[in-house]
Structures are given as structure tokens and as C-alpha cells.
Chains A and B, each alone.
Chain A
């Protein structure tokens, strides 16, 4: 199964080349995905799946759109 990934701000350097259709295994969670992308756990503050905030243990489904967000505070 495949998902779409968007990594924001400082996390964009972890965006995989095939981010529009990235293969994940059944049962893989948002946290496991972030680890596989090499994102340091302390840098990941918010995960959105299909426009809804989820916890790191949320399992991913085929076709999910995943957004990964670090802490941003600039003004």
C-alpha cells in the first residue's frame, strides 16, 4: 500500500523522492514511518493524516495523506 507524504519546514529534507506514492507495510504506524524517514523523534511535533491530527501509534492506511510538522514559532 502507498501513502503521500508532506514534510514541512526543517523536516522537508527528510522528504523521500517518491513522496507522492510512498510504500508502507500494512500496520505501519505514523511514528514508525517517521523513524524510517530518519526524522529525529524530538523534531517531530505534529502528525496529520488526511487533515486530522493523530498520535504516533496511529496505523496508516492505503491512500493516506500524511503531514509531518516540526515546532515553528517565527514571526
Chain B
């Protein structure tokens, strides 16, 4: 490739026209071309990974990165660009966190910092997508890093294989736009609620027990579910367990809300909980 050509010219040169049924033709930058261009770029700490920078440049030129083609009637080019520039903190990489991470990485959230000090154990196999016969007994954070690298190399993933106490939570949230509470159990949730508020960022939170669960968004200073449930209560999942359908449902709802917020829309669940029961197949939005 000629060394003096600017990135934008390269992208324009490599873009092709794609005509999807029922849509206007669009210019597209293939996954392969984006990766090739990224190889020619150095890493810049301030601007994210090279591949994300190529994808961002393409979006600014009105050219769709092929990887996100199926997202573009949900997220506009400008919204996709915001996702690629977004900084998210994910706490917990078990059932909720593993499922949410898959969605957030595929959506192209540019920077994800994720913490879990836990190692996989056999009882995680029923629901945690990162827990496999290969990853079992290893760190959840390590399995998460391997998965993100496979799924979307435009995502800068910062794994932390540590259980965060409240002091570490405060440090973990510095510079983040949004916190996602994918913790298991009640013990650490009030602390995370406090620290997200102290950091001045919204918290998307979820939990399940049996076939029931909830997803909520807590804005700084507002009350969240953890304020009502407490930290020392015997939680319902101890008897009802955590089957995969409820966990994956809660995680998908949580990821959808996180993407709403990160792409610049209003939080849809601020001050509210979406409660569901998959046994009765009921969903209800309730205000806190």
C-alpha cells in the first residue's frame, strides 16, 4: 500500500457497495480490509485499538464496517461510533457477565474493563457461557479475555482477576461512563451502587432467582434494588438456583440497556425495574 496515502483514502479505496434486500445501497468496509488497515497502524493508548480507529474512521466517512452491518437499523453510524469510543466497567463474569460480555463485545463497545476474582467450578456449567470443559478451574477473567479476542478484536478488553472490595471498586470505576453490575449474590451490590453514584455514572444492574429476575438502571444518587434487598439477606437464588434462561434473559436486557446508554440515548430503565417471570412468561416494568 502506498505509504503516503491517508487512512481515509485507503478506506474509500477499499470500500465496496452492498445492496441488502429492501435497503438502500451502502458502502461497506470488509472485516478483512479493516484488519489489514489496522495492521498498518501503531497502538495509541488515547484513541483505542487500531482496528477500532479504522472502524471509527470508516463510520465518519459514511462507510459501514462489515462486522456491524446487521446493527445499522438499530444503531446509526454516529451511534456505532459512540459505542466504539465508549468506556464500560463490567463487574462479574459469571452467568450475567459472560452473557452480557458476548453481546457488548459483538456490538463493538470500544473499551471494556471487567473484574471477577473467581475461578470456574462445575456448578457454573449450567449457565455461564465462558465456562466450558476447557476453561473450568481457570480464572473467569482469563476466559473472558480469550473470548473477546475471538469475538471482536476491535474491543480493548482489560481483565482484572480480583474480587473488588469497595475501595477497589472506586478505583475500578475511574474514567468509566457506565457500570454494569453482573455480580452474583447480594453481598457486594450495595457497595457497587454507592461507588457508581460516587463516580457519577449510571449503573445497570440485574439479578435472577429461578425463573424470575429483574433489570434496572440506577442513576447517581437514586435508589436501586440493592437498597431494598440489603447485603446480608438470604437471597432467593440459594433455594431456587440460577437456570440459564433467566440468566441469559436478564443479561440480554442488561446489555440492551447498556448499549442504549453508551450510544447516547436516555436510560430507559432509570428509576424503574423490568421484572420478569419466565414460568408465567410475564414481563412488567415497575417504578421504584
Bound Cα distance A70, B225 (Å):
11
Known contacts A10-B209, A52-B286: A72-B97 contact under CB 8 Å: no
Please state if A75 and B97 are interface contacts (CB–CB under 8 Å). Answer: yes
A-B contact count (CB 8 A): 104
B92: CB under 8 A from chain A?
yes
B110: CB under 8 A from chain A?
no
Residues of A within 8 A of B228 (CB): 45-46, 71
Which residues of chain A from 24 to 72 have a CB within 8 Å of any chain B CB? Answer: 42, 45-46, 48, 51-53, 67, 69-72
Please state if B183 and A51 are interface contacts (CB–CB under 8 Å). Answer: no
Please state if A69 and B186 are interface contacts (CB–CB under 8 Å). Answer: no
Residues of A within 8 A of B241 (CB): 74
Which residues of chain A from 1 to 26 have a CB within 8 Å of any chain B CB? Answer: 6, 8-12
Cβ 8 A contact of B229, one of A6, A8, A12, A71: A71
Cβ 8 A contact of B186, one of A10, A12, A48, A71: A71
Known contacts A6-B277, A72-B207: A51-B284 contact under CB 8 Å: yes
Chain A interface helix/strand/loop/mixed: mixed
Bound Cα distance A9, B154 (Å):
39
Please state if B275 and A75 are interface contacts (CB–CB under 8 Å). Answer: no
Chain B 241-273 per-residue mask, 1 if CB under 8 angstroms from chain A, else 0: 110000100100000000000000000000000
Please state if A73 and B210 are interface contacts (CB–CB under 8 Å). Answer: no
CB distance from A9 to the nearest CB of B (A): 4
Please state if A73 and B186 are interface contacts (CB–CB under 8 Å). Answer: yes
Chain B interface helix/strand/loop/mixed: mixed
Cβ 8 A contact of A75, one of B206, B225, B239: B206
A contacts, CB < 8 Å to B: 6, 8-12, 42, 45-46, 48, 51-53, 67, 69-75
B side interface size, CB within 8 A: 44
A sample of 12 cross-chain residue pairs with beta-carbon separation below 8 angstroms, ordered by A number, consists of A8-B212, A9-B237, A10-B210, A53-B287, A71-B234, A71-B236, A73-B235, A75-B94, A75-B95, A75-B96, A75-B97, A75-B183
Residues of A within 8 A of B210 (CB): 9-10
Known contacts A10-B236, A45-B229: A72-B208 contact under CB 8 Å: yes
With most chain A CB atoms within 10 A of its CB, the pick from B97, B183, B240, B280 is B240
Residues of B within 8 A of A6 (CB): 277, 280, 282
CB distance from B205 to the nearest CB of A (A): 10
Which residues of chain B from 150 to 175 have a CB within 8 Å of any chain A CB? Answer: none
Please state if A72 and B229 are interface contacts (CB–CB under 8 Å). Answer: yes
Residues of A within 8 A of B250 (CB): 75
Bound Cα distance A3, B110 (Å):
48
Please state if B207 and A75 are interface contacts (CB–CB under 8 Å). Answer: yes
Known contacts A9-B210, A10-B209: A74-B277 contact under CB 8 Å: no
B233: CB under 8 A from chain A?
yes
Closest to B223 in A: A53
With most chain B CB atoms within 10 A of its CB, the pick from A9, A67, A72 is A72
Bound Cα distance A16, B225 (Å):
26
Bound Cα distance A3, B269 (Å):
26
Residues of B within 8 A of A67 (CB): 275, 284, 286
